[in-house]
């Protein structure tokens, strides 16, 4: 039977509009310090492969890159989009069920542990797939440390707080990235990088609307799940979207999503 967290983490249709826009350089730049030609790389929770394709370019034709994601539809899209790249392949599988004789020089997981209840099992699984000198690279959020300037409308703040409660109630860690160093050290790894990668935009900058507007998208796409699970009413969801859209266009000046990269080795 699927767990609550598993159902809550399912990517709603339309989320691609966000993840398809990402790239290695703009959205996972922490990897640039570890990627070398010829490496074998595993990207866990690769989505539709936008970042994974950039990784394949970095390791070159002597390298090998595999993206895995539990979302079968996302993997179909990734395969279609990046069909011509010889050193890149994709597999639709849950990381906990993934089985291979391969061991990887780099295992990366970006914005994925945030969606997993009890992520220690996934961390242990990834460590088991590392080559002896391999590096595990995690990029993820602490959603409790978001900051908006000025404060968003109370209707959206209260939707956001319910969103975090809905996630936490199913076992997901809203502050997952800040728990990572201790989690990795408890598995015998040493931290080699712990770096701020926060996503910040000010009004007037390119991408402000997409960046700040993420919470309207969340309320549109995931919000219906919160309504059916009884965390907000449909009316509260609608008001949160309307007032927040207005805030983005008028009072909103900046928003910072707290994102960090943590790398570790045996």
Site membership for ligand SAM, residue 199 (CB under 6 A) = no
Instruction: Name the residue nearer to ligand SAM (CB basis): 111 or 263.
Output: 111
Q: Which of 74, 78, 156, 255 binds ligand SAM (CB under 6 A)?
A: 74
d(CA 225, CA 93): 24
Instruction: Name the residue nearer to ligand SAM (CB basis): 183 or 239.
Output: 183
Site membership for ligand SAM, residue 138 (CB under 6 A) = no
Site membership for ligand SAM, residue 116 (CB under 6 A) = yes
Window of 66-74, 128-136, 214-222, 249-257 that interacts with ligand SAM by CB under 6 A = 66-74
Sheet holding 254-257, edge to edge: 147-149, 254-257, 199-202
Picking from 77, 27, 16, the residue whose alpha carbon sits closest to that of residue 55 is 27
d(CA 215, CA 223): 10
CB 155 within 8 A of CB 244: yes
Site membership for ligand SAM, residue 211 (CB under 6 A) = no
CB 106 within 8 A of CB 137: yes
Is the peptide bond preceding residue 90 cis, with omega within 30 degrees of 0? no
Please provide the DSSP assignment of 50-117 as one string.
Answer: HHHHHHHHHH-TTSEEEEEES-HHHHHHHHHHTTT-TTEEEEE--GGG---S--EEEEEEES-GGG-S
The helix (H) or strand (E) run that includes residue 215 is helix 214-221
Instruction: Name the residue nearer to ligand SAM (CB basis): 85 or 93.
Output: 93
Q: At its nearest, how many Å lie between ligand SAM and the CB of residue 213?
A: 16
Q: Which of 71, 134, 223, 252 binds ligand SAM (CB under 6 A)?
A: 71
Beta bridge partners of 196: 260
Q: Which of 31, 41, 42, 46 binds ligand SAM (CB under 6 A)?
A: 46
CB 157 within 8 A of CB 252: no
Site membership for ligand SAM, residue 45 (CB under 6 A) = yes
Q: Which of 41, 55, 66, 95 binds ligand SAM (CB under 6 A)?
A: 95
**Contact mark string toward ligand SAM, 6..25, x via CB under 6 A:** ---x-x-------x--x---
Instruction: Name the residue nearer to ligand SAM (CB basis): 64 or 75.
Output: 75
Q: Which of 30, 58, 69, 126 binds ligand SAM (CB under 6 A)?
A: 69
Site membership for ligand SAM, residue 47 (CB under 6 A) = yes
Please give the residue ranges that form the binding site for ligand SAM (CB under 6 A): 9, 11, 19, 22, 44-47, 51, 68-71, 74, 94-96, 110-112, 115-116
């Amino acid at each position: 039977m699927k767990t609550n967290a598993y159902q809550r983490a399912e990517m709603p249709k339309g989320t691609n509009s966000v993840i398809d826009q990402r790239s290695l350089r703009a959205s996972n730049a922490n990897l640039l310090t570890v990627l070398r030609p010829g490496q074998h790389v595993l990207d866990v929770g690769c989505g539709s492969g936008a970042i994974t394709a950039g990784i394949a370019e970095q390791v070159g034709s002597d390298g090998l890159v595999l993206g895995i994601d539990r979302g079968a539809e996302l993997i179909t899209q990734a395969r279609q989009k990046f069909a011509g790249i010889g050193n890149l392949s994709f597999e639709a599988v849950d990381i906990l069920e993934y089985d291979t004789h391969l061991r990887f020089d780099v295992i990366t997981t970006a914005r994925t542990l945030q969606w997993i209840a009890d992520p220690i099992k996934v961390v242990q699984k990834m460590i088991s797939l590392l080559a002896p000198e391999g590096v595990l690279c995690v990029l993820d959020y602490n959603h409790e440390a978001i900051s908006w300037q000025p404060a968003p409308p109370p209707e959206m703040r209260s939707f956001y707080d319910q969103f975090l409660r809905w996630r936490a109630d199913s076992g997901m860690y809203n502050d997952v990235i800040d728990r990572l160093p201790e989690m990795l050290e408890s598995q015998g790894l040493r931290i080699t990088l712990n770096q701020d990668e926060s996503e910040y935009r000010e009004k007037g900058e390119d991408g402000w609307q997409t960046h700040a507007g993420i919470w309207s998208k969340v309320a549109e796409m995931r919000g219906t799940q919160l309504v059916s699970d009884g965390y907000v009413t449909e009316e509260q969801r609608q008001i949160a979207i309307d007032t927040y859209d207005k805030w983005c266009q008028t009072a909103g000046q900046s928003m910072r999503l707290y994102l960090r990269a943590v790398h570790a080795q045996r």
